[in-house]
Amino acid sequence: MQAIQHILAASDAQVSIGDLAESLSPYIGTQAVARGGVWLAGRRVIDPDVRGVAGATLTLRLPPGGVYAELELGAGDIAYEDAWLIALHKGMGWYVGATPWDVVGNALAALGRYLEARDGVAPPLHLAHQLDRDTTGILLFSTSPLANGPLTAAFASGQVSKTYRCLVVGSPLDTGEVRSGHGRAAGGRWRVYPHEEVGRELPSGGGRVKEAHTGYAVERWLDGAALVRCVPHTGRTHQIRLHMAHLGHPLLGDARYGGPTAYAGRELPGHLLHAAELRLRHPVTGTTLDLVSPYPALFAEISALSLSIDKVSGARFQRDSS
């Protein structure tokens, strides 16, 4: 993320934030205003007519590479819908919610626009959980305040069963699990800690080391890679990506954690991790929901390469039912 900062002088207090942003950078400033990337004294400013005070810091937050994400949804992107919930087949490269530089190009905002165009009004959307930008698959929202509390509690207490598929480098053991610590590194990135360090306080306000637990099984062997089924029993940031890299088998396309950016002659635009299944008790009706999302095209193409050999051992591991 790039940023342009300006300390407001006394004369600036007579000028709107929108005009100030445009004067700082005529084209970029106008875009930043329109996309919600203008911050005044640490707070996002949506109204361009707002005026600041002398001494306050005006910041224009700009997208990585200077390119805004553009996202518009269609009926085919809806995986499930009822009176209280709606789920999307999330695509690679989709931001889930607002970023510091943009409130427009994300799944939450795009879903609101789609529902408003379809129904004439957008319901009060609430994100039930998070997925990384390049992770594909089931992304669940509530559309009614009646569902918010029970849904949040279900995710927080581990009552939602999640199954992921990923494509990794090398040949992992047929089946296994990883129990580790999880927290920030000195540079701010997420990392794996030894399990015995769970609960240790990290320096510089980094919180405490938390437990991370993932079960996995290989479903298919590829040429120098494998299709792996993962069940996260905890919900830590980048958990599956970190755990597979910790085992020496980073995800294809996951350059951050040591994965290759190309495989079998194909360039990989991001890490190949797919939220394939989400199983939960409906927060209002109490019925069991099994939400499933098919592989996106690139994932399906690579996982079905002719060199692959389906496993015959039938290795299985039990879902976490807590």
Q: With contact defined as beta carbons under 8 Å apart, do 135 and 274 qualify?
A: yes
Q: Backbone phi, then psi, for 242, in 5-degree steps? A: -65, -45
Name the catalytic one among 77, 102, 132, 134: 132
Cα torsion 96, 102, 105, 110 to 10°: value is: 70
Identify the bridge partners of residue 208 per DSSP, sorted by sequence position.
201
**Annotated catalytic residue 174:** no
262, burial (CB in 10 Å: exposed 0-12, middle 13-18, buried 19+) = exposed
Q: Where are the alpha helices (DSSP H) in 254-303?
A: 297-303
Q: With contact defined as beta carbons under 8 Å apart, do 226 and 167 qualify?
A: yes
The HSE-up count of residue 261 (CA atoms within 13 Å, CB side) is 3
The whole-angstrom separation of Cα 201 and Cα 275 is 31
Identify the bridge partners of residue 192 per DSSP, sorted by sequence position.
182
Dihedral-angle region of residue 142 (phi above 0 means left; psi in -120 to 50 means alpha; beta otherwise): beta
Interacting residues of 75 by C-beta distance below 8 A, sequence separation 6+: none
Which residues are known to be catalytic?
A: 132
